[in-house]
């Protein structure tokens, strides 16, 4: 991959990147800077996202489908959750935010890492707020995350995670985790 100034506008961005290996990067754009950092930190996952976009675009007939929606959501707002504790992963899947982040905060600190890949999320984190949420895959690293994304076909397959709930990212007390604007219940539970 090479980072180049913006140029041609004759094809889809994702196709141009796939075919040329050139990632257009605006020099004064934090969004593009964080995208470049994501490419450097997660090269396999970013390359897989790009390749899957390039495969899907010709099939879609000019209208983005669910798979590309999922890929875009993850690319802009995704994270890789590394976790050795299956009960904590289950709490994420069940939207048990207070139980996860407050009651089990020491377990979370010792067993879970959140690796933010989404460059829009990284940009938004410059002005943190409690509602910042990522769509996540559970994987042990870059290569495994790329494989997991290859098997996903819809945004619904990515778990939401209010990342600023992670113990210590913001000033948090027990009441912080009761704010349903940020720590929402699962839709089917409402």
95: Cβ contacts below 8 Å, ≥ 6 apart: 160, 183, 184, 185, 186, 189
Q: Rounded distance, CA 161 to CA 134, Å?
A: 5
- Check: CB of residue 12 under 8 Å from CB of residue 57: yes
* pLDDT tens for each residue of 146-176: 999 999 999 999 999 999 999 988 778 899 9
d(CA 165, CA 42): 23
Q: What is the mean pLDDT of residues 4-16?
A: 82
pLDDT at 189 over 70: no
- The pLDDT, as a whole number, for residue 128 is 82
pLDDT at 10: 66
What is the pLDDT at residue 165?
Answer: 92
pLDDT at 188: 65
pLDDT of residue 61: 81
pLDDT for the residue numbered 93: 94
Nearest-angstrom CA–CA distance, 110 and 166: 12
For the segment 76-83, the average pLDDT, to the nearest whole number, is 98
Round the average pLDDT of the chain to a whole number and report it.
92
Does residue 181 surpass a pLDDT of 70? yes
- Does residue 190 have a pLDDT over 60? no
pLDDT tens-digit readout, 81-111: 999 999 999 999 999 999 999 999 999 999 9
Predicted local distance difference test score (pLDDT) of residue 81: 98
């Amino acid at each position: 991959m090479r980072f180049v100034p913006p140029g041609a506008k004759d094809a889809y961005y994702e196709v141009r990147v796939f075919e040329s290996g050139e990632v257009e990067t605006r020099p004064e754009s934090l969004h593009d800077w964080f995208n470049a950092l994501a490419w450097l930190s997660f090269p396999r996952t970013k390359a897989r996202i790009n390749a899957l976009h390039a495969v899907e675009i010709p099939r879609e007939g000019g209208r983005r489908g669910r798979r590309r929606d999922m890929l875009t959501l993850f690319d802009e707002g995704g994270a890789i959750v590394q976790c050795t504790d299956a009960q904590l992963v289950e709490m994420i899947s069940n939207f048990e935010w207070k139980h996860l982040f407050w009651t089990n905060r020491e377990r979370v600190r010792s067993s879970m890492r959140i690796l933010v890949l989404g460059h829009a999320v990284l940009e938004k984190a410059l002005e943190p707020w409690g509602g910042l949420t990522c769509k996540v895959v559970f994987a042990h690293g870059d290569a495994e995350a790329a494989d997991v994304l290859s098997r996903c076909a819809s945004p619904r397959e990515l778990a939401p995670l209010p990342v600023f709930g992670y113990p210590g990212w913001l000033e948090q007390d027990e009441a912080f985790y009761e704010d349903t604007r940020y720590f929402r219940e699962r839709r089917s539970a409402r």
